[in-house]
Amino acid sequence: MADLLVITVLLPLIMALFGVSVPAFSGRLFRLIAQLTTGLTLVASLVLFASLDRAQPGVQFASTHDWLGDVLKFTLGLDGVSALGFVLAALVGFAGTLLGRDVQKREKPFYLLYLVLVGGALGAFAVRNLFFFYFFMEFEVLVAYVLISGWGRSGEPDDAVQRERAALHLSLFASAGALLALLGILALFSYAPAALNLDQQAAVLQAAPLPATAANWIVLLLTLGFGVLLSAWPLHVWAPPAYAAAPTSVAMFSAGVLKQLAAYGLLRLVLPLLPAESAPLWSRALSAIAVMNILYIGWIALRQTDGKKLIAWGSVSHAGYLLLGLAALNSIGAQGVALMIFASGVSAALLFGVWGLLEAQTNRRELADYGGLARRSPFLGVAFTMAVLAALGLPGFANFVSEILVLFGAWLHGALWLRLAVAAGVWGLVLTATYFLRAVRTVCFGPVAPTTEKLFTPYDAEKFAVVLLLIFLFAGGVWPRLATDLTKHSFPMLGKTNGALFQSLEQDGGVTRRPPTGGRSVAAPTGSASGDPMGTTEKSSAVGGVSNLANPTAANAGLQTPPTEQSETEPTEKH
């Protein structure tokens, strides 16, 4: 299976290189090449997903290839979380080739670049080295810029200017975020070169914890970098115009996969490095940003009259739930984020795909221009309605399960600020239902509008793509254990609830505590010392600090000073 994983990652890239030598005598040929390639990629990803051992935690199908001697190795592998992202990239990539009807010019370069885009996302989810993760992520940004700039449509009177501006904003913001993430990765490399390997990171940092100040700066840089790509408030301004200006297949992939790749980075790279002493502050900041994404950006979405912009702003608003699950810092919230990466990615791709079918036939984007879609084209009416119901979290879809896990995880944390954020999240679901159901009422019902009269039944391949995306959403909603059985072992550093631990950390106020016999100390700030390049000798807790959250009771015991010497000789209670 390790060889199959390597082939699956490289197949789109190899086919893109092969396509360069094929004469461009027919654009349909290159669309067919893209469809066959991504179709094979999807089948291979499902085989890999089904072959994962649910009872075995950790990476599977691992393979290592020398790239720069012993310093840097190209390592591929899948675990529960990355496998979900891997299937997501393959699924959305395949559906995008079937629904990309709006690309009618220069099809050869478009579909070859699109294959590169899909291959880069597959590599980012499968790679186990931070350097190559950054490489694939930055590669995605550059290719997305070219695709939006060359084939996009903004829907504005000055289309060429607005399209180029949206693509440029995407490139500038995303490149700046990637640069911040790179600085964090380089800082981590300077302290612990072996920690760039995700499979060795826990053991490396357990043996030699990072200085607390260095860990805090690394976490800050990575959080800001991935936050830009996730379109977290207030760094979100580039995302809605870029999604709205992108061709259908690129909009599907950008909102459905690239944005989720940033959430994957926060979940997989930032949480293991987060010092326990900084966890309450980090959680507070993330929950506040989540509320702004959910409510403020949701309010902007409520005011949209352009259908594609409505979907774009709604997608950015729902990034707040990913941030809320991360702010919970417990395994329930983290599992919710892992499932939401998949569910929200598929539902966003489905919404952009169905709207792309409407826009490609009518060349109109205003909601008010449509009406009576359910009468004129029942399939499109049902597809649009089902896509909306999935996005707003109706029971039966994977989105519902992921949102429940995120909200429960944040509530069980116990902190007041997170419970207030949960209340804001529930209100955000009301906002989502308002603007999406209003769109359904306007587009699907009422008298048949002149614009709707131009519509005809989609091709069979387009119907297949829509139904395929819905099947995956239903499968995750009806039987979520397909995903949660894989992800439940992926967060050994997180406990189920962390409220008691955070209260202890906040009450201690930075006082150095002596742990029980056999425990690790959690140092408090003691000032700078020579020989420490970050100006401190303070060390973060094991495995970046958050590993102590795996057992909050034991962690609290480790933060308390033994009252007498007798406690030193008492046997440690087993949990």
Q: How far apart are the first and last CA of the chain?
A: 38
What pLDDT is stored for residue 497 in this prediction? Answer: 52
> What pLDDT shows up at residue 547?
41
**Which pLDDT score is estimated for 40?**
94
Single out the residue of 270, 70, 74 nearest to residue 188, CA to CA. Answer: 270
3-state class (DSSP) for residue 60: strand
User: Model confidence over 287-327: pLDDT tens digits?
Assistant: 999 999 999 999 999 988 888 999 999 999 999 999 999 98
Round to whole Å and give the CA distance between 402 and 328: 14
Q: Which residue in 10, 81, 120 sits closest to 265, CA to CA? A: 81
Q: Is 211 helix (H, G, I), strand (E, B) or coil?
A: strand
pLDDT at 557: 35
The count of other CB atoms within 10 Å of the CB of residue 359 is 19
Q: What is the DSSP letter of 522?
A: B
In a 3-state reduction of DSSP, which class is residue 77? Answer: strand
Residue 429 located in a structural domain: yes
**pLDDT value of position 70:** 64
Task: Note if the pTM is more than 0.85.
Answer: no
Q: How many domains is the chain partitioned into structurally? A: 1
397-411 pLDDT per residue, tens: 999 999 999 999 888
Chain-centre distance for alpha carbon 6:
22
pLDDT computed for residue 311 by the predictor: 93
Tokens representing 546 are: 């958050």
* Intervals of the chain under pLDDT 70: 24-27, 69-71, 154-159, 492-575
CA 554 to CA 556: how far, in whole Å? 5
* CA dist., res. 39 & res. 6, Å (int): 16
pLDDT for 69: 65
- 3-state SS string over 102-124? CCCCCHHHHHHHHHHHHHHHHHH
Give the span between the Cα atoms of 158 and 245, in whole angstroms: 12
Range of the domain at 468: 2-487
Domain-located, residue 164 = yes
Q: Is 502 among the domain residues?
A: no
